């Protein structure tokens, strides 16, 4: 794949992150009361649908992780993922803990030292501690996906038997969501959202050679992905007490997939690689920082008359912090981990 093709995905990642930010601030915050009653009812009818950004994230992840696995050993892949995710996660969790300790989110308990320390393994729920931010559950799903990729790469199966792997994953996911209804399978195999990861994986493979069997697997992943909003809607109703109409649910899946496919299959946007990389680099820390920190800021400072100005200042501040993290902290921490890992092994770890 030509490197410049990723520029479109960098831009799409940022757009999808902003969609999730608007969904949380302009819809969820007021419905759940986590922003102290502050909300943006003027745009809530649109914002209710912007969790579509999450679906885009998962599809991009399937594509990029498959790309990232090319030309690497399983260990190199694991080190690369760890270096990319862990330092920034721990930093952002620490920032979140400090902010929430001083400015608590209404309805949420104050963070504790034990809760903060449990985030050293990213999925704090494994240690019986709640996430410091509501967005972290998606990072846990990402890590499960990476874990399966690592295992399959170590076995030598990931690229060799990818069509069978995706087919079985889609089949088991559909069985679980339609019939088995196992929460263990739902977590272990990400059955609710597997259609998006599978679509991204298959799109990457099809991009460089589309046989009948590959196209068949792609179609199956698309079908499952389009059904995903219907799988998860009952859980959304439990949280918000609002059922979205079926027509909208039928649209958000295909729209998400089309966005990713267009970015992959069309020429790169007329932006400099440096600018696209910077914008894409903001995505991960923004996703980690925005939700509960945003709620705490709105609850403390966002009086109804000043909520728009508070929102604008909050977003600008978050973007600046994310730029500092992406520009300075992430490259340094990534290089340190990869150099340390290289020193422990008999081979170098590729930068990617």
pLDDT tens string 76-134: 999 999 999 999 999 999 999 999 999 999 889 999 999 999 999 999 999 999 999 99
Radius of gyration of the chain (CA): 20
Helix-then-strand count for the chain, H and E: 15, 0
Q: Which of 52, 62, 57, 12 is nearest to 200 (CA)?
A: 62
The answer to whether residue 224 scores a pLDDT higher than 90 is: yes
Q: What is the pLDDT of residues 16-26, one digit of tens each?
A: 999 999 999 99
Distance CA 200, CA 25 (A): 28
Q: How many residues does the chain have?
A: 352
pLDDT given for residue 251 in this prediction:
97
Residue labelled with tokens 């600046």:
320
Q: Residue 3: what pLDDT?
A: 42
**Whole-angstrom distance, CA of residue 255 vs CA of residue 258:** 5
pLDDT at 46 over 90: yes
pLDDT mean over 55-73: 95
| Contact in structure between 245 and 236 (CB atoms under 8 Å) | no
Which pLDDT belongs to residue 305?
Answer: 67
* Residue 304 confidence (pLDDT) above 70: no
DSSP label at residue 348:
P
Q: How far is CA 49 from CA 27, 35, 215, 243, 261, in A?
A: 9, 19, 29, 12, 20
Residue 87 sits at the vertex; the CA angle it makes with 84 and 88, to the nearest 5 degrees, is 80
pTM here is: 0.93
Nearest-angstrom CA–CA distance, 282 and 235:
29
What CA–CA distance (Å, rounded) separates 47 from 69? 35
Nearest CA to 285 among 311, 314, 319? 319
pLDDT > 90? residue 43? yes
Mean pLDDT over the full length of the chain: 93
Dihedral pair phi/psi, residue 194, rounded to 5°: -60, -30
Q: What pLDDT, on a 0 to 100 scale, did the predictor assign at position 274?
A: 83
Specify the residue for token string 């790469």: 153
Mean pLDDT of 208-231: 93
Residue ranges of domains in the chain: 7-336
Confidence band for 276, pLDDT divided at 50, 70 and 90:
confident
pLDDT given at position 349: 46
End-to-end alpha carbon distance in the chain: 14
Of the candidates 336, 2, 289, 252, which has an alpha carbon nearest to the alpha carbon of residue 349? 336
Higher pLDDT, 303 or 231: 231
Segment 237-266 shows an average pLDDT of 95
Mean of the pLDDT values across residues 54-60?
A: 98
From 74, 126, 40, select the one nearest 309 (Cα to Cα).
40
């Amino acid at each position: 794949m030509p490197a410049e093709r990723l520029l479109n995905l960098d831009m799409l990642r940022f757009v999808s992150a902003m969609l999730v930010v608007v969904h949380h601030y302009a819809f969820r915050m007021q419905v759940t009361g986590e922003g102290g009653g502050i909300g943006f009812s003027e745009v809530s009818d649109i914002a209710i649908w912007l969790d579509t950004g999450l679906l885009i994230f998962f599809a991009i992840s399937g594509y990029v992780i498959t790309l990232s696995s090319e030309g690497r050993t399983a260990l190199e892949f694991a080190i690369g993922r760890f270096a990319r995710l862990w330092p920034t996660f721990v930093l952002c969790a620490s920032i979140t803990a400090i902010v929430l300790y001083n400015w608590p989110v209404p309805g949420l308990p104050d963070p504790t030292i034990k809760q903060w320390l449990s985030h050293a393994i990213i999925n704090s729920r494994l240690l019986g501690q709640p996430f410091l931010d509501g967005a972290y559950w998606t990072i846990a799903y990402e890590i499960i996906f990476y874990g399966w990729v690592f295992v399959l790469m170590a076995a030598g199966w990931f690229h060799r038997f990818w069509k069978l792997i995706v087919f079985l994953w889609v089949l088991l996911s559909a069985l679980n969501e339609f019939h088995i209804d196992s929460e263990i399978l739902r977590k272990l195999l990400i059955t609710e959202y597997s259609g998006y990861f599978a679509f991204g994986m298959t799109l990457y493979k099809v991009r460089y050679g589309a046989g009948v069997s590959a196209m068949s697997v792609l179609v199956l992943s698309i079908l499952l992905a389009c059904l995903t909003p219907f799988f998860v809607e009952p859980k959304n109703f439990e949280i918000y007490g609002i059922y979205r109409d079926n027509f909208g649910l039928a649209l958000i899946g295909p729209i998400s997939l089309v966005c990713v496919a267009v970015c992959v299959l069309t020429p790169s946007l007329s932006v400099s690689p440096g600018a696209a990389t910077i914008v894409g680099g903001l995505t991960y820390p923004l996703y980690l920082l925005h939700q509960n920190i945003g709620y705490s800021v709105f609850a403390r400072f966002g009086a109804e008359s000043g909520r728009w100005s508070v929102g604008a200042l909050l977003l600008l501040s978050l973007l600046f912090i994310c730029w500092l993290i992406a520009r300075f902290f992430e490259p340094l921490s990534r290089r340190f981990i990869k150099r340390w890992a290289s020193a422990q092994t008999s081979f170098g770890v590729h930068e990617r």
